[in-house]
């Protein structure tokens, strides 16, 4: 919440001089967000990072600056380059994680149009049917954007990573679109699912939750044009406890059909051994690959 307030305040501050990227400062602050010795230092670094980032983004045409040195910050451009989304994480302790971020739109004159994202994950109880704006964001660290269209409207499917709790991790699929005034909207009833425990026939987002060390994959395959995710089973025969779930080698998925992500129960007819499936690792050694 504090970082979101800082970001909004910075948006009305005086712009910085052209070309003053402050990237060295950003890199140092980003490192302290990740490696600060205690929560107080990490959150101070996050506040400083937010202020410095907004000042850098106020430089004309900053949209095209990739910030390549910020390897611990996710920086993704939309496939059509209409916007980019930056996300990062602040760890309070082993059980509490907060995601921060912003969406920067591309503008014709190079001016800044920025939407701060405020993580309300801890307040949203019904995430399977929630549709909300940037100020009620269900936070995640995004590692892939897939663009689809239907009935003249563009949808951007976001694949993300969420540390979630001390015992379990989530990987999420969310939908980003923009309303008639160009404001971001998260969630859309586009996930067509069968009736299974914990699932709704038509959800606004989808996620898998698994044991902390489970490392279940969730990715988009460009050749198959499918979202793939690993089937999970309980290692202790307690499927209602997510922290016991691990991948078993099978893959489920979603295919874009007539404006919906339609569920596929079994993508492959034989189980794949580790390494046989295309792998996209969103986080490796606490660093993000890819970006702008």
Q: Say whether 53 sits in a helix, a strand or coil.
A: helix
Question: Is residue 180 one of the residues assigned to a domain?
Answer: yes
Same domain, 142 and 112: no
Tell me: do 37 and 165 sit in the same domain: no
Query: Is 235 contained in some domain?
Result: yes
User: For residue 178, how many other CB atoms are within 10 A of its CB?
Assistant: 18
Angle (deg, nearest 10), helices 39-57 and 2-11: 20
Residues whose CB falls within 8 Å of the CB of residue 162, separated by 6 or more in sequence, listed in order = 97, 99, 121, 139, 140, 141, 169, 170, 171, 172, 207
Q: What is the pLDDT of residue 91?
A: 86
CA distance 279 to 98: 26
Taking residue 132's Cβ as centre, other Cβ atoms within 10 Å add up to 16
Phi, psi at 49, each rounded to 5°? -60, -45
Number of domains in the chain: 2
* pLDDT of the residue at 213: 86
Residue 183 lies in a domain: yes
Instruction: Return averaged pLDDT per consecutive 10 residues of the chain, 292 residues in all.
Output: 52 43 87 91 94 95 95 97 96 81 98 96 92 96 98 97 92 97 98 91 96 94 97 95 95 97 87 52 41 33
Nearest to 178, CA basis, from 83, 255, 100, 64: 83
Note whether 274 and 172 are same-domain residues.
Answer: yes
Residue 272 is predicted with a pLDDT of 52
For residues 94 and 4, state if they share a domain.
Answer: yes
Assigned domain for 126 exists: no
Query: In this structure, are 109 and 204 located in the same domain?
Result: no
- Integer angstrom CA distances of residue 269 from 90, 230, 252, 266: 41, 14, 11, 7
The answer on 145 and 76 residing in a single domain is no
**pLDDT at position 196:** 85
Whether 275 and 144 map to the same domain: the answer is yes
Domain match, 75 and 102 both: yes
Which pLDDT belongs to residue 19?
A: 41
| pTM as predicted | 0.86
Rounded to 10 degrees, what is the CA torsion of 135, 184, 155, 89?
-50
The answer to whether residue 290 sits within a structural domain is no
Same domain, 210 and 113: no
Question: What is the domain range of residue 63?
Answer: 1-119
pLDDT of residue 14: 41
Are 158 and 103 members of one domain?
Answer: no
The answer on 37 and 86 residing in a single domain is yes
78 and 175, same domain (yes or no): no
The pLDDT of residue 136:
96
Cα–Cα distances in Å, from 173 out to 122, 127, 135, 160, 222? Answer: 18, 12, 19, 6, 16
* 129 belongs to a structural domain: no
Would residue 83 count as lying in a domain? yes
């Amino acid at each position: 919440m504090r970082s979101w307030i800082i970001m909004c305040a910075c948006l009305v501050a005086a712009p910085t001089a052209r070309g003053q990227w402050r990237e060295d400062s950003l890199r140092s602050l980003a490192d302290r967000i990740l490696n600060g010795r205690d929560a107080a230092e990490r959150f101070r670094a996050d506040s400083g990072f937010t202020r410095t980032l907004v000042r850098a983004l106020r430089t004309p045409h900053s949209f095209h600056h990739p910030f390549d040195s910020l390897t611990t910050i996710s920086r993704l451009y939309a496939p059509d380059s209409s916007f980019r989304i930056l996300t990062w994480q602040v760890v309070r302790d082993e059980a509490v994680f907060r995601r921060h971020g912003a969406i920067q739109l591309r503008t014709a004159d190079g001016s800044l149009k920025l939407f701060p994202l405020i993580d309300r994950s801890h307040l949203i109880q019904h995430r399977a049917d929630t549709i909300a704006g940037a100020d009620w964001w269900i936070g995640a660290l995004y590692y892939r954007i897939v663009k689809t269209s239907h009935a003249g409207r563009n949808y951007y499917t976001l694949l993300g990573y969420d540390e979630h709790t001390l015992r379990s991790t989530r990987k999420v699929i969310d939908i980003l679109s923009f309303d008639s005034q160009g404001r971001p909207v998260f969630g859309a009833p586009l996930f067509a699912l069968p009736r299974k425990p914990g699932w709704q026939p038509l959800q606004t987002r989808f996620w898998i939750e698994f044991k902390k060390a489970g490392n279940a994959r969730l990715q988009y395959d460009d050749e198959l044009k499918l979202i793939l995710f690993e089937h999970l089973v309980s290692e202790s025969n307690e499927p209602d406890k997510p922290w016991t779930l691990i991948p078993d080698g099978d893959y489920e998925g979603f295919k874009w059909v007539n404006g919906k992500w339609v569920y596929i129960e079994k993508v492959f007819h034989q189980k794949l051994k580790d390494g046989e499936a295309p792998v996209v690792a969103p986080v490796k050694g606490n660093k993000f690959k890819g970006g702008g």
